[in-house]
Amino acid sequence: MENGINLSSEKSIVEFETLLSKAFNTVSIMKLKEEKELTESLRRENQAGKYFSIRNSDNQAYIWIGCEWKKNNKNESIFWLEFDKKTCSPMYWNKIYKLINTSGTYYSKVDSEFAQVYMNTWIHFYLKDEYLKHFYGENCRINDQEEIIGGFINEVLEKL
């Protein structure tokens, strides 16, 4: 079995983003389009990930999925999927908003963040710690990582 991506290593960021693109191509729920320009323009320090869009007639949403390290004082890493209210049609936003404080098979919690300086709200889905451990350490397996990412994305998108 092929070794997976160890996110403890900085060289793994490009590999992770390739794995992420591959996982999105296997998502069965709906067609997603990678938004390369948006990803490049909004890349942040200590993050790896990509933006994708969902389009369904007049309804659309942009999704960020990625990982971040040094997120808090404990330098804990997180893996999350984020919806931005400014780029999410009301049809999707209303369904997503009802999921706050819930959990699923792959996601541990859903929360909402409001930043007054931006006058905007985001909803985050966080990958459960038991799955997050598959991305750190020497025994990471690529097949496990692909399955986890695909399952996580599908689970969230099924709620839409």
Angle, CA of 52, 137 and 135, to the nearest 5°: 15
Question: Do the beta carbons of residue 69 and residue 46 sit within 8 Å?
Answer: yes
pLDDT at position 59, please?
76
Tell me: the pLDDT tens digits for 120-151? 899 999 999 899 888 876 677 888 888 898 89
Q: What is the DSSP letter of 46?
A: T
Cα torsion through 156, 79, 145, 83, rounded to 10: 30
Q: What is the pLDDT of residue 110?
A: 93
Q: Is the pLDDT of residue 13 over 70?
A: yes
Q: Output the pLDDT for position 143.
A: 83
Helix 142-158 crosses helix 12-25 at what angle (to 10 degrees)? 50
**pLDDT for residue 69 is more than 90:** no
pTM of the complete model? 0.84
Higher per-residue confidence, 123 vs 26: 123
Does residue 23 come out as left (phi exceeding 0), alpha (psi in the -120 to 50 range) or beta? alpha
